[in-house]
């Protein structure tokens, strides 16, 4: 009797490239149009309804952050599952994380230092929003280069300051680095009880974030940001492993969390809050689970292709955008292009086009050289009733996250 070879399954969620691209463009837009928000130094809106809508949307572009974190939770869960179930050495897991994140980041920092130095010499007013590298103390450069700056002060007893973070959006990478480390430690210590360990860590973080909400944005993963990654783990487990009962239980927990997060309708009107962040995380996680059955269709939809294209190189766009959009936005503002209409019709398109173009160049010349080769398929069965979607080899299941921090110059 001839036995058919076991079917290889794929953990690739194809349409995540679209969501990466959308979140990345939200990041770029947020850092470009932040001066439209009240108190940012720009002129007040004239009162037209579309201007009010534009300002409302500009205040919420930070939602790209929870989108990225949830996606990262899914992608690293896929990588962790392969490492754990195939018996790969834990050193390989950490080496792949290091290779994927740090070399492109360090090269971006070096290129950005050159751009800022030259730009500040030629037109210093354009770089007023960016920390000059030679004014950042050596100790803080250690935090910058090791992606520990957001929490290193808690250890060495000095206050965190945005002015000491050269690539400001790198604060999200500081959280990413901690998440990767915690996942690696859990793979090493928990072994077959990996998901139970994830649940234990998530429960502990949830308890602490509820008991001490003032610690949110402290720089440590247990300040509540872990919950964004954990939501991505839920998406991965529901799609790849959960039986019907487990799936309904996980979705019920997401729905309950959504209801709990929006118990006060006022949070929907606030520009940002812990509850609104959590609501975005849980809602996006549930949306990914629901949309998975149409994954291939969404991935191949021609209307979404431009955004999907940006998603395939979102790390490069994310790394380079800060030193591009700030001088563009500030410079055009000095030229008088500062109304809501001028910002949306001139400043924003120019910033997006510049960041996508430079990001594509950085992706080809730098990032692509550090993409990890895909691990072999995990070989485990998908959840009953869910067919595996044929997919090409995954060159980028480990695309990193990016995000947008509260604009320190708009406050």
How would DSSP label each residue in 305-358? HHHHHHHTTHHHHHHHHHHHHHHHHHHHHHTT--SHHHIIIIIHHHHHHHHHHH
Residue 308 lies in a domain: yes
Q: Does residue 2 lie in a domain region?
A: no
The per-residue pLDDT for 396 is 38
Residue-level pLDDT at 387:
38
Residue 410 belongs to a domain: no
Residue 316 domain-assigned?
A: yes
pTM of the model: 0.85
C-beta separation of 243 from 274 below 8 A: no
CA distance 337 to 340: 9
Q: What pLDDT score was predicted for residue 212? A: 75
Does any domain span residue 3? no
φ/ψ of residue 338, rounded to 5:
-135, -5
> In total, how many domains does the chain have?
1
pLDDT of residue 36: 60
CA-angle at 277, arms to 64 and 288, nearest 5°: 60
Give backbone dihedrals phi and psi of 303, rounded to 5 degrees, phi first.
-70, -25
pLDDT of residue 272: 76
Per-10-residue mean pLDDT for the chain, 411 residues long? 44 92 95 68 61 83 93 93 86 94 97 94 85 93 95 86 92 94 93 92 88 75 90 96 94 93 75 84 96 95 96 96 92 86 91 97 96 62 38 38 38 34
Say if 339 falls within a structural domain: yes
Angle at 236 between CA 265 and CA 267, to 5 degrees: 10
- The helix or strand, by DSSP H or E, that contains position 31, with its residue range, turns out to be helix 16-33
Residue 396, domain member (yes or no): no
Domain coverage including residue 220: 16-36+50-370
Answer yes or no: is 124 within a domain: yes
Sign, CA torsion 275/151/184/169? positive
Q: How far apart are CA 257 and CA 278, in angstroms?
A: 8
Instruction: Give the separation between CA 75 and CA 394, rounded to whole angstroms.
Output: 11
């Amino acid at each position: 009797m001839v036995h058919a070879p076991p079917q290889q399954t794929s953990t690739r969620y194809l349409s995540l490239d679209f969501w990466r691209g959308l979140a990345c463009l939200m990041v770029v837009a947020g850092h470009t149009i932040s001066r439209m928000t009240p108190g940012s130094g720009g002129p007040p809106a004239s009162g037209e309804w579309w201007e009010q809508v534009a300002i409302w949307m500009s205040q919420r572009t930070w939602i790209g952050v929870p989108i990225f974190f949830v996606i990262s939770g899914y992608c690293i869960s896929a990588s962790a599952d392969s490492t754990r179930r195939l018996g790969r050495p834990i050193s390989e897991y950490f080496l792949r994380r290091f290779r994927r994140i740090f070399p492109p980041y360090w090269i971006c920092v070096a290129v950005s230092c050159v751009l800022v130095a030259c730009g500040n010499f030629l037109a210093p007013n354009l770089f007023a929003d960016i920390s000059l590298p030679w004014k950042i103390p050596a100790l803080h450069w250690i935090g910058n280069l090791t992606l520990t700056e957001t929490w290193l002060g808690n250890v060495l007893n000095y206050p965190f300051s945005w002015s000491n973070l050269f690539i400001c959006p790198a604060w999200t990478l500081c959280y990413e680095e901690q998440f990767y480390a915690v996942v690696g430690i859990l793979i090493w210590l928990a072994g077959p009880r990996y998901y139970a360990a994830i649940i234990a860590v998530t429960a502990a973080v949830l308890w602490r974030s509820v008991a001490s909400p003032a610690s949110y944005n402290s720089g440590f993963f247990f300040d509540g940001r872990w919950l964004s990654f954990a939501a991505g783990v839920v998406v991965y487990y529901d799609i790849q492993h959960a039986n019907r009962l487990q799936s309904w239980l996980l979705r019920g927990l997401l729905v309950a969390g959504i209801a709990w997060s929006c118990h006060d309708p006022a949070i929907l009107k606030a520009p940002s809050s812990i509850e609104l962040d959590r609501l975005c995380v849980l809602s996006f996680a549930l949306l990914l689970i629901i949309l998975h059955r149409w994954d291939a269709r969404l991935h191949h939809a021609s209307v979404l292709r431009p955004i999907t294209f940006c998603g395939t190189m979102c790390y490069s766009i994310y790394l380079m955008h800060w030193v591009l959009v700030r001088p563009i936005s500030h410079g055009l503002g000095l030229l008088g292009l500062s109304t809501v209409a001028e910002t949306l019709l001139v400043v924003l398109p120019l910033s997006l086009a510049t960041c996508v173009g430079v990001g594509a160049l950085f992706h080809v010349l730098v990032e692509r050289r550090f993409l990890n080769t895909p691990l072999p398929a995990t070989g485990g069965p998908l959840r009953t009733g869910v067919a595996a979607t044929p997919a090409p080899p995954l060159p980028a299941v480990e695309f990193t996250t990016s995000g947008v921090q509260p604009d320190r110059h708009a406050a």
